[in-house]
Amino acid sequence: MAGAVPTPASSCTIVTAQDRADLANLRLAEALRNISANEASAQAPQVVVGSRDAQAVLLLDGKMLLTVTEADADHAGLPAAMLASAWADSLNRSFLQALRERQPAYRRWAL
């Protein structure tokens, strides 16, 4: 099964690439909801590169977001750490833009 990864809890449990993507998307959506819910005092969530079991990972506000697999890196033609950094930068720029677009001054300008 391409993209399937055994979970640490059980070697019998298989997590597919789609499952991993769905979980990451849920966590990203939650972070965006938090920006919307706390507009007045909101800060952009932070995505940073970390390492777990010798693999590059992305952490969203300190919580595991996703693992950058060797297959991801091979597909992109980049080392996993470099790809993880590029993904983190892209996500952080998107969060900053989302925060900016939720500010009253931007909303007045956009109308």
| pLDDT tens digits, 71-96 | 999 999 999 999 999 999 999 999 99
pLDDT level of residue 8 (50, 70, 90 thresholds):
low
Q: For residue 18, what are its two tokens?
A: 């789609």
Q: For residue 31, what are its two tokens?
A: 């972070």
Report, as an integer, the average pLDDT of 2-20. 65
User: Which amino acid is located at 87 in the chain?
Assistant: W
The percent of residues in the chain predicted with pLDDT above 70, rounded, is 85
pLDDT in tens, 27-63: 999 988 887 766 666 788 999 999 999 999 999 999 9
Total length of the chain:
111
- Pick the closest to residue 96 from 38, 45, 25 (CA basis): 45
